[in-house]
Amino acid sequence: MKMILIVAAVVGLSVGLAQAQDKTYILSKSDMHVPADNLMSGPGLQEKIDLGRQLFFDPRLSSTGTVSCNSCHNVMAGGEDSVRTSTGVKGQLGGRNSPTVWNSAFHSVQFWDGRANLLEDQAKGPVTNPIEMGMKDHSMAVARLQKIDGYRDSFAKVFGGKASAKDAITIDKVAKAIAAYERTLVTENSPFDRFNAGDVKALSADAKKGWETFQKTGCVACHSGAHFSGPKMPIGTGFYQKFPLMPDANIEKTYGFSKDLGRFDVTKNEGDKNTWRVPTLRNIALTAPYFHNGAVADLSEAVRVMGKVQLGKDLSKSEIKSIVAFLNSLTGEFPKQEMPRLPAYELGLRRLNSISVSLRPDILVDCRV
């Protein structure tokens, strides 16, 4: 009888855990921001995703033929490039740390300063940024792609029309394809996700303690929701926070967080100075260095800094250790990625001369466009 009661109690506890699942933190693909003119369903979806993957990896979208989307957002790793600021065309350094592309489809605004809404908007920006990919304008990028038979055929297959048509390739179609691929970059089933679903063994004792500390110290005031980047917001409305909120002279001297004015550069609103879109904490253990300027290389130090300048608290070593253990539990399972074969220029352009740059035997950049 005693054994039956014990078993019943264990079963009841398990059921209770499952029922206690916090829906706030459930990762659901249905929460993605997807525009009506680029749905992730219907015939031809896989072909659109495959085309987007090719474009994402293709350095010919840059003026020098040396920088692709993947150069700064490496999907073979954490979705960024593991350096303070990225290197663009002609060796130029960008001003901010590259945000991870993994799970970016869930953001209501893109970039650190929220200057773009959808992934489609974001995909167009770097192409004509003089430091990043350096194209003079979008028509220059489109003209280069138009010279590649394989792309003309693929765009016609995905978006309709004739491959020979002048509008077979447009910058909007390029952005839609890239965005479709990026919406497949979702990391699910992290240890925390399994714990939240009722698997009490999914987290270590340190991680459980860290989750409690994370909540108790107030980290969830900003890093809440399924992506630990704030509440779900309508597209175009970002969840922003001032950083640093409580500047510390020593931390500022060491890391220089306040030098970049953040969203102010977009809005020119005084209240937006040093204000940033709250970044996701999913896979945070894989995306060092941290913060908008990539100034902090270590996750433990990033936690200490956040405690000091955002919460006004001097976190103890044990608190930092446990929070880091919890943050490690937010690393999800990464869908396998394969580098695509890129379509080549037509034979007439596959020659070395004063106007062509050889990158690889199968990729030749015609610098006339």
Closest CA to 69 of 188, 175, 186: 175
For residue 262, what are the CA distances in angstroms to 145, 233, 312, 329?
Answer: 34, 20, 21, 29
Rounded Cα distance, 366 and 369, in Å: 6
Confidence at residue 20, expressed as pLDDT on a 0 to 100 scale: 57
How far apart CA 64 and CA 80 sit, in angstroms, is: 21
Cβ-in-10-Å burial (0-12, 13-18, 19+) of 30 comes to: exposed
Region 22-48: what's the mean pLDDT?
A: 96
Q: Which of 73, 58, 70 is nearest to 141 (CA)?
A: 58
pTM of the model as a whole? 0.90
Q: Kindly report the average pLDDT of the chain as a whole number.
A: 91
- Tell me the catalytic residues: 132
For residue 58, give every residue at least 6 positions away whose Cβ sits within 8 Å of its Cβ, in sequence order, or none: 68, 342
Q: Which pLDDT score is estimated for 345?
A: 87
Q: What percent of the chain has pLDDT over 70?
A: 88
pLDDT of residue 44: 96
- Encode pLDDT of 278-309 as tens digits: 999 999 999 999 999 999 999 999 999 999 99
Residue holding tokens 């597209």?
A: 235
At 40 the pLDDT is 98
Give the whole-angstrom CA distance, residue 345 versus residue 366: 9
Run of H or E residues at 34: none
Those residues whose C-beta lies under 8 Å from the C-beta of residue 226, and which sit 6 or more positions away, are: 24, 25, 26, 27, 28, 31, 106, 232
Q: Is the pLDDT of residue 15 over 60?
A: no
Which domains are present in the chain?
30-185+339-366 (1.10.760.10), 191-328 (1.10.760.10)
- CA-closest candidate to residue 332, choices 170, 232, 196: 196
Q: How confident is the model at residue 347 (pLDDT cuts 50, 70, 90)?
A: low
pLDDT band at residue 346 using 50, 70 and 90 as cut-offs: confident
User: Could you tell me the CA-to-CA distances from 229 to 54, 224, 282, 326, 345 in Å, in that order?
Assistant: 29, 6, 9, 15, 42
Beta bridge partners of 93: 87
pLDDT of residue 203: 98
Averaged over 183-189, what is the pLDDT? 98
- pLDDT at residue 307, rounded to an integer: 98
pLDDT on residue 356 = 43
**Owner of token pair 């693909």:** 29
pLDDT band at residue 359 using 50, 70 and 90 as cut-offs: very low
Stretch 52-68: mean pLDDT: 98
Measured CA to CA, the distance from residue 58 to residue 52 in angstroms comes to 10
User: pLDDT digits over 239-255, tens only?
Assistant: 999 999 999 999 999 99
Residue-wise pLDDT for 117-161, tens only, equals 999 999 999 999 999 999 999 999 999 999 999 999 999 999 999
Distances (CA, A) of 153 to 342, 363, 364: 13, 17, 19
For residue 2, the model assigns a pLDDT of 42
